[in-house]
Amino acid sequence: GENVEQHPSTLSVQEGDSAVIKCTYSDSASNYFPWYKQELGKGPQLIIDIRSNVGEKKDQRIAVTLNKTAKHFSLHITETQPEDSAVYFCAGETGRRALTFGSGTRLQVQP
């Protein structure tokens, strides 16, 4: 089955700086890669996703890049704000199977 590894486990940045979170996956057949944000006491919420036929996708301050050859994908957050502080999870999906999640990155944006 799919295995998704995520790093770093914690990330602290100054407000206004950029943050980058990286994930690698094992199954070359995986074709869908979402990113979720989880705030304290809440369930994960989808923030952006990318499919295997696309190399990059942007949504305002958030972007995701995918390198199928190297089997890794990354989340980029620019101009970070205190409200971006949360735990971020990457995930991968193969065929009909449910998402396999990474272990999470705790992002702290220092004001």
Which CB sits closer to other proteins, 14 or 42?
A: 42
Distance between CA 85 and CA 107 in Å, rounded? 5
Size of the site for other proteins (CB under 8 A): 27
For tokens 């890669």, the residue is 33
By rule CB under 8 A, what string of x and - marks binding of each residue 67-96 to other proteins?
Answer: ----------------------x-x-x-xx
What is the layout of strands, in order, in the sheet containing 4-7?
4-7, 19-25, 72-77, 62-67, 56-59
Rg of the chain over Cα atoms, rounded to whole angstroms, equals: 13
State in angstroms the smallest separation of the CB of 93 from other proteins: 5
Question: Can you name the residues that pair with 68 across neighbouring β-strands?
Answer: none
Contact 82, 70 (CB under 8 A): no
Footprint of other proteins on residues 21-60 (CB under 8 A)? 31-32, 34, 36, 41-46, 49, 51
State in angstroms the smallest separation of the CB of 15 from other proteins: 25
Residue of the chain from 22, 62, 78, 101 that contacts other proteins (CB under 8 A): 101
